[in-house]
Amino acid sequence: MGNDFFRFRQFTVMQGGAAMKVGVDSVLLGAWACVDHATRILDVGAGTGLLALMMAQRYPGAMIDAVEIDSAACQQAIENVTNSTWSNRIRVICDDFVQYVEQCPSRYDLIISNPPYFTASLKASDAKRNIARHNDSLPHCSLLAGSAKLLASDGVLAIVLPPSEALKFIGQAKVYGLFVKRTLHVQSLPSKPVYRTLVEFSKTSPRSCEDGPGERLCIEKADRSALTDEYCHLTKEFYLDK
The span from the CA of 236 to the CA of 147, in Å, is: 29
pTM to 2 decimals?
0.89
List, for residues 5-63, the tens digit of each pLDDT value: 899 999 999 988 777 788 899 999 999 999 998 999 999 999 999 999 999 999 999 99
Q: Give 242's pLDDT tier (boundaries 50, 70, 90).
A: low
Please give the pLDDT value at position 125: 54
Q: What stretch of H or E contains 156? A: strand 151-161
The percent of residues above 90 in pLDDT, for the chain, comes to: 78
- For the chain, which domains are there? 5-235 (3.40.50.150)
* CA dihedral of residues 119, 125, 129, 130 (deg, nearest 10): 30
